[in-house]
């Protein structure tokens, strides 16, 4: 049975772990040939071995434009073209804004924002040539709802949303460009917090759907944006947060307690 991405070729940056790994598995499972680009090339190779033939594992740091361009060009050459780019690679940190060094701030922007630009710039010629190109950039809810200690990361993700919209405008109609903004998702980056039952309970208590997300659910959103079902969607930021951005933190707890009386 044909998959929705049969005949497609994709590059997924940061594809060896977390959300990127889930995206790579989803696209491969739906028929695409996938190049996993990651600084952890060994982990990418292990995933490719699990996925089976026809896929690639390539080592590259997205902050290095030459490395990333070489990896994308190699994938396009091996696959005979490129139709999908998922800019997922990212890194984070947490400390007061004034405590970041210049190098730390610059590195966070280089990976989380400039790296997205590097990927788009390198992939666009291949995507345009395919006549059906799609880019999905992984942003985050911190782009619009900042969190303490993550100033550079939040600024970079806000930049990703803006960059997505500009690219969508410039590269239409041959290439669609969208972003996804995950909320709290269970990955190795959040494992230390989620392993604490009290902290996890407090986090989930503030999410309307009552739980943290799964990387596969974000991958489903990415797959939708890459698919023909989203053929008339470009420049959109799809929020995948279980509704956590909906409650007003000024009054929600009070009103929740008041309304609970009606359930008695």
Q: Measured between alpha carbons, how far apart are the two ends of the chain, in Å?
A: 51
Side-chain-side CA neighbours of 129 within 13 Å: the count stands at 11
Euclidean distance between CA atoms 155 and 142, whole angstroms? 8
Please state whether the peptide bond connecting residue 173 to the residue before it is cis, i.e. omega within 30 degrees of 0.
yes
List phi, psi (to 5°) of 240: -125, 80
Q: Identify whether 171 is a catalytic site residue.
A: no
Q: 18-29 vs 41-51: helix axis angle to the nearest 10?
A: 30
Residue 142: half-sphere exposure toward Cβ, Cα within 13 Å: 22
Three-point CA angle 39, 41, 44, nearest 5°: 115
Q: How far is 61 from 204, CA to CA, in rounded Å?
A: 34
**What six digits make up the tokens of 233?**
């969607």
SS3 11: strand
Say which of 100, 153, 171, 184 is annotated catalytic: 153
Cis ω for the linkage preceding 194 (within 30 of 0): no
Residues belonging to the active site: 153
């Amino acid at each position: 049975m044909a998959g929705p991405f049969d005949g497609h070729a994709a590059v997924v940056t940061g594809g060896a772990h977390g959300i990127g790994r889930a995206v790579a598995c989803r696209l491969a499972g739906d028929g695409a040939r996938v190049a996993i680009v990651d600084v952890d090339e060994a982990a990418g190779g292990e995933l490719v071995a699990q996925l089976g033939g026809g896929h690639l594992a390539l080592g590259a740091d997205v902050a290095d434009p030459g490395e990333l361009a070489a990896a994308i060009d190699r994938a396009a050459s091996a696959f005979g073209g490129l139709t999908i780019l998922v800019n997922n690679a990212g890194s984070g940190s947490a400390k007061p804004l004034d405590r970041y060094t210049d190098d730390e701030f610059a590195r966070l922007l280089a990976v989380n924002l400039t790296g997205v630009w590097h990927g788009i710039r390198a992939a666009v010629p291949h995507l345009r040539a395919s006549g059906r190109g799609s880019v999905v950039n992984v942003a985050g809810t911190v782009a619009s709802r900042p969190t303490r200690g993550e100033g550079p990361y939040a600024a970079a993700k806000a930049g990703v949303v803006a960059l997505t919209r500009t690219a969508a405008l410039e590269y239409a109609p041959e290439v669609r460009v969208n972003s996804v903004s995950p909320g709290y998702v269970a990955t190795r980056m959040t494992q230390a917090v989620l392993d604490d039952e009290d902290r996890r309970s407090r986090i989930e208590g503030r999410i309307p759907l009552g739980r943290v997300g799964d990387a596969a659910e974000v991958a489903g959103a990415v797959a939708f944006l890459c698919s023909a079902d989203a053929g008339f969607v470009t420049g959109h930021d799809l929020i995948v947060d279980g509704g956590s951005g909906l409650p007003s933190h000024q009054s929600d707890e009070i009103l929740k307690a008041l309304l609970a009386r009606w359930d008695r």
